[in-house]
Amino acid sequence: MSGTLNKVMLIGHLGDEVKMHYFEGGGCIGRFPIATNETYTNKQTGERVTNTDWHNVVVRNKAAEICEKYLSKGDKVYVEGRLKNRQWQGEDGNTRYSTEIQVQDFTFLTTKKESMANNQQNGGGNSQAAAQSSQKPAQASQPSHSVSEPEDDLPF
């Protein structure tokens, strides 16, 4: 079924640190914002204008741990994933909506943290490197397998 495509590709800078959430079953999730810029020349005034867009990025499990380990605020990263609309009840009882990028693949373009970090984190679909620092390299080569798990058991 399906015959559809839902793909987002971003290159941008982290606006904040990776925030981790750990679940009882052992899974985890990391969240961080990425900024992309758009610059153009206003035709009326001739001045250059820069707009920033902020994107809510969500990474899971092994991939989340690698992001937390190597990425920090200000780092540049390539991120690939799916657009996902999420809604939840705000504290005031109103329904809130947000759009997230659920990461399937990423690669570090700069990192301020430890040096051997720049691993391509793959969506399982190609044979690129995962964290060499991993204890389980064989498994680490499909880290985002867990990204694709059913979400029905995750409390968020």
Partner DNA sequence: TTTT
130 and 143 Cβ atoms separated by less than 8 Å:
yes
- Burial state string for 46-73 with b = 16 or more CB within 10 A and e = fewer than 16: eeeeeeeeebebbbbbbbbbbbbbbbbe
Q: Taking CB under 7 A as the rule, does residue 74 contact DNA?
A: yes
Q: Taking CB under 8 A as the rule, does residue 152 contact a copy of itself?
A: yes
Q: Taking CB under 7 A as the rule, does residue 23 contact DNA?
A: no
In the list 2, 87, 89, 135, the residue contacting a copy of itself (rule: CB under 8 A) is 2
List the interface residues with DNA, window 82-141 (CB under 7 A): 115-116, 118
What's 17's DSSP letter? P
List the interface residues with a copy of itself, window 52-71 (CB under 8 A): 53-55
Look at residue 15 and give the partner it binds from DNA, a copy of itself, none, a contact being a CB closer than 5 to 8 Å depending on partner kind. DNA
- In 23-145, at which residue ranges do the beta strands (DSSP E only) sit? 28-41, 48-60, 76-89, 95-108, 120-121
Q: Taking CB under 8 A as the rule, does residue 78 contact a copy of itself?
A: yes
Q: Taking CB under 8 A as the rule, does residue 73 contact a copy of itself?
A: no
CB of 127 to a copy of itself, least distance (A): 3
Look at residue 20 and give the partner it binds from DNA, a copy of itself, none, a contact being a CB closer than 5 to 8 Å depending on partner kind. none
Residues touching a copy of itself, count (CB under 8 A): 70
Of 76, 74, 30, 59, which is closest to residue 121 (Cα–Cα)? 59
63 and 40 Cβ atoms separated by less than 8 Å:
no
Q: Taking CB under 7 A as the rule, does residue 30 contact DNA?
A: no
Helical (H) or strand (E) element with 20 = strand 19-22
Instruction: Give the interface with DNA as residue ranges (CB under 7 A).
Output: 1-3, 12-16, 33, 35, 37, 50, 52, 54, 73-74, 76, 115-116, 118
